[in-house]
Amino acid sequence: MFTYIVDEEVSLRLVERRHVEELFQVIVTNADHVGRWLPFARATTQVTDTLAFVDSALIDFAAGKGLVAGIWYCSQLVGTIGLRIDKGHQSASVGYWIDSSHEGRGIVTRACRALINFAFDELKLHRIEIRANPGNVKSRAIPERLDFVEEGIVRGAFKLYDKFEDSIIYGLLCDEWHHKR
């Protein structure tokens, strides 16, 4: 299966059924922290919820439509990062979250950098997009740190609990990424 060694501390591994219990525990521990921006965290109340997510992610991976990897820090699962792939347009969107006790160490930035390298170099994608809620300053810092271009705001782009929220779109093209390296 997919494993990507980022550095001596961080690696990305395809989430598999054997990770379900550990992933469930990280989600439940961070239900309020992650759930502030991503409703799945508060909706995950049973191991079977995580199992269904992992099975769906594996089906998408097999079909070439997506990749959901666990973010492993010093051999501990601390979050996930994923690609939703549109083969026809050679593009993908990136999403991520991390355990609150591991924020501020550059783990997500390193994981994103590695996944972007993989997407452009191995998958031969042309464009990568990251969307973030305008109020989610920590999530927005990732694409800004990685020199994505802020392309605009989509008004009412997603429903967060009972309210429609805007989304800032950040984009990065393959040529821009390789030019900056």
Q: What are the pLDDT digits (tens) for 135-151?
A: 999 999 999 999 999 99
Residues with Cβ < 8 Å from 65, sequence gap 6 or more? Answer: 84, 85, 87
Question: How many secondary structure helices (H) and strands (E) does the chain include?
Answer: 7, 8
Extract the runs of DSSP E, i.e. beta strands, from the chain. 3-5, 10-14, 66-73, 76-86, 91-98, 127-132, 149-160, 163-173
10-46, pLDDT tens digit by residue?
999 999 999 999 999 999 999 999 988 998 889 999 9
- pLDDT tens profile 106-136: 999 999 999 999 999 999 999 999 999 999 9
- The number of angstroms, rounded, from the C-alpha of 5 to the middle of its chain's C-alpha atoms is 16
Q: pLDDT band at 181, cuts 50/70/90? A: low
CA dihedral of residues 9, 11, 16, 21 (deg, nearest 10): 20
